[in-house]
């Protein structure tokens, strides 16, 4: 018995969803050791390239002084960690209006009764079925001032099967990708990304024992070498300074034998969010002030939700989840529309807050760049437009209220010439719009122009 076209569609894999579909990232990967990889924006499949091909100062040997060192986690320092002084991701009391995490994870054997099956189901690869450690994920914090349908949802941002050359993510930072965008964004990113924070893999500790020193007015103080100590190196022209201790394992409230496997440093607000290879410290946060360490008024401990419960329980992660890459963001930390002191809001679209439900299809906006023509661009990604079936119509993509593309949707077309899983539309950024907030939207129109489904408006600062 043949399945109907609609039944076939219902069996289609879900794939990436949310506001970070096809977003470009920078990762490290165990299959390409001692290299920073730049994963281009989609639609995929795409092939990861060396970040040093476009940003020469990020050649591994230049960053780490020519030593054969393996890094467990890294961060450019431009994350924004939403956290109040009690360690809670509470947007009412933290200086923030939104908050999100992007991350990569792995499932480890945490022992009998650890909930491994539950965790594996939580992160079930719904796309190519090619494994977990090459996927990236996103999660918007409860209380974020965006439409409720996007909040408190674990979403697959990109599937590793769509990113050739990415097999086992060991670190990630989506902000570093901005260095490869047009100069209007890259120059702002470069100003804020003048340093690199990182932790050293346990197997490399002895190789770089001299790095575990902390400069002080009295000279240099030694710190016990540990993979739970955050080191930092500063960009100086095209070179990098000798690494030094930024926060020791003791400063972070960790043990010398702990191992930080994922890292998001908020240099601006003196906060660190990190993944630790310990079932009791999976997602750890530190609020610090380097001039007053140790300071009992600052929080060191598990990352908590707005009610004071462990954040890992809020997301539903089992004890066997380990973070391998981590970024934290707040695209509007000043609370003034899109205005903020960082460049991140110029790289992706943020939906206007609304009570309207999230549509059955997804729309995401990313700042992109055509290196061949040196053209500053925006790309809209539309996924699952066929979700409106059996209703038929046309999806109209609009920029500033002007139609820029359209996509017919019908059951017949889905059999003859089905829509790709992700449709994309790229436009050049007019110079006249630089510095302005612009808006995208998509509406599916049925016969007679009736609205079948409509997205929220997504805004991006040019």
pLDDT at 332 over 90: no
pLDDT at 112 over 50: no
pLDDT at 336: 34
Domain boundaries, the chain: 5-14+348-461, 25-329
- Tracing tokens 């476009």 back to the chain, one arrives at 54
pLDDT at 19 over 70: yes
Residues 323 and 262: beta-carbon distance below 8 Å? yes
Q: Report d(CA 461, CA 347) in Å as an integer.
A: 8
Residues 37 and 50: beta-carbon distance below 8 Å? yes
Beta-carbon contacts of residue 296 (< 8 Å; ≥ 6 apart): none
pLDDT at 216 over 70: no
32 forms beta bridges with: 29
Which residue, among 126, 107, 130, 134, has the nearest Cα to 118 in the 3D structure? Answer: 107
pLDDT at 102 over 80: yes
| Class (C level, CATH) for 5-14+348-461 | mainly beta
- pLDDT tens for residues 282-307? 999 999 865 555 555 588 999 999 99
pLDDT at 126 over 60: no
Burial class (CB in 10 A: 0-12, 13-18, 19+), 247: buried
Q: Report d(CA 226, CA 274) in Å as an integer.
A: 15
Cis upstream peptide for 279 (omega within 30°)? no
Which residue, among 347, 440, 352, 356, has the nearest Cα to 396 in the 3D structure? Answer: 440
Q: What is the mean pLDDT of the chain?
A: 85
pLDDT at 290: 55
260 forms beta bridges with: 276
Q: Report d(CA 212, CA 245) in Å as an integer.
A: 6
- pLDDT tens for residues 236-280? 888 999 999 999 999 999 999 999 999 999 998 889 999 999 989
pLDDT band at 96 (very low <50, low <70, confident <90, very high): low
pLDDT band at 140 (very low <50, low <70, confident <90, very high): very high
Which residue, among 389, 286, 268, has the nearest Cα to 330 in the 3D structure? Answer: 268
Average pLDDT rounded to a whole number, residues 386-394: 92
pLDDT at 11: 32
For residue 61, the Cα-to-chain-centroid distance in whole angstroms is 26
Average pLDDT rounded to a whole number, residues 362-382: 94
Residues 6 and 27: beta-carbon distance below 8 Å? no
Burial class (CB in 10 A: 0-12, 13-18, 19+), 252: buried
Average pLDDT rounded to a whole number, residues 374-390: 93
Q: Report d(CA 276, CA 285) in Å as an integer.
A: 10
Average pLDDT rounded to a whole number, residues 426-440: 90
The dihedral built from the CA positions of residue 131, 304, 138 and 57, taken in this order, carries a sign that is negative
pLDDT at 127 over 50: no
């Amino acid at each position: 018995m043949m399945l109907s076209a609609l039944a076939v569609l219902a069996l289609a894999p879900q794939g990436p969803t949310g506001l970070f579909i096809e977003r470009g990232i920078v990762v490290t990967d165990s299959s390409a050791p001692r290299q920073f990889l730049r994963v281009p924006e989609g639609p995929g499949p795409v092939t990861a390239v060396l970040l040093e091909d476009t940003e020469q100062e990020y050649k591994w040997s230049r960053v780490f002084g020519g030593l054969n060192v393996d890094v467990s986690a890294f961060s450019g320092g431009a994350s924004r960690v939403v956290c109040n002084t009690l360690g809670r991701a509470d947007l009412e009391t933290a200086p923030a209006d939104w908050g999100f995490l992007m991350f990569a994870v792995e499932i480890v054997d945490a022992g009998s009764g650890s909930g491994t099956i539950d965790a594996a189901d939580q992160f079930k690869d719904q796309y190519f079925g090619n494994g977990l450690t090459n996927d990236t994920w996103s999660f918007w914090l409860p209380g974020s001032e965006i439409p409720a349908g996007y909040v408190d949802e674990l979403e697959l941002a990109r599937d590793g099967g769509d990113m050739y050359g990415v097999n086992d993510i060991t670190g990630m930072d989506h902000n570093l990708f901005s260095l490869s965008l047009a100069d209007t964004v890259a120059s702002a990113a470069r100003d804020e990304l003048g340093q690199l924070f990182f932790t050293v893999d346990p197997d490399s500790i002895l190789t770089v024992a001299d790095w575990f020193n902390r400069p002080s007015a009295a000279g240099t103080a030694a710190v016990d070498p540990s993979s739970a100590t955050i080191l930092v190196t500063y960009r100086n022209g095209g070179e990098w300074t000798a690494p030094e201790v930024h926060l020791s394992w003791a400063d972070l409230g960790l043990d010398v034998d702990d191992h930080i496997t994922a890292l998001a440093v908020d240099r601006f607000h003196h906060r660190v969010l990190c993944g630790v290879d310990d079932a009791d410290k999976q997602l750890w946060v530190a609020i610090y002030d380097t001039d007053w360490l140790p300071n009992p008024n600052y929080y060191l401990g598990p990352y908590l939700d707005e009610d004071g419960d462990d954040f890992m329980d809020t997301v539903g992660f089992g004890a066997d989840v380990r973070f391998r890459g981590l970024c934290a963001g707040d695209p509007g930390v000043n609370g003034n529309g899109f205005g903020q002191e960082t460049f991140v809001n110029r790289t992706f679209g943020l939906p206007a807050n609304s009570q309207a439900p999230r549509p059955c299809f997804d729309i995401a906006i990313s700042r992109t760049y055509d290196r061949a023509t040196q053209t500053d661009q925006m790309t809209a990604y539309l996924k699952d437009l066929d979700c409106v079936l059996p209703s038929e119509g046309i999806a109209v993509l609009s920029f500033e209220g002007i139609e820029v593309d359209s996509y017919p949707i019908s059951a017949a077309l889905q059999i003859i010439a089905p829509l790709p899983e992700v449709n994309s539309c790229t436009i050049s950024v007019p110079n006249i719009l630089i510095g302005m907030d612009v808006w995208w939207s998509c509406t599916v129109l049925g016969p007679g122009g009736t609205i079948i489904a409509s997205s929220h408006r997504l805004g991006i600062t040019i």
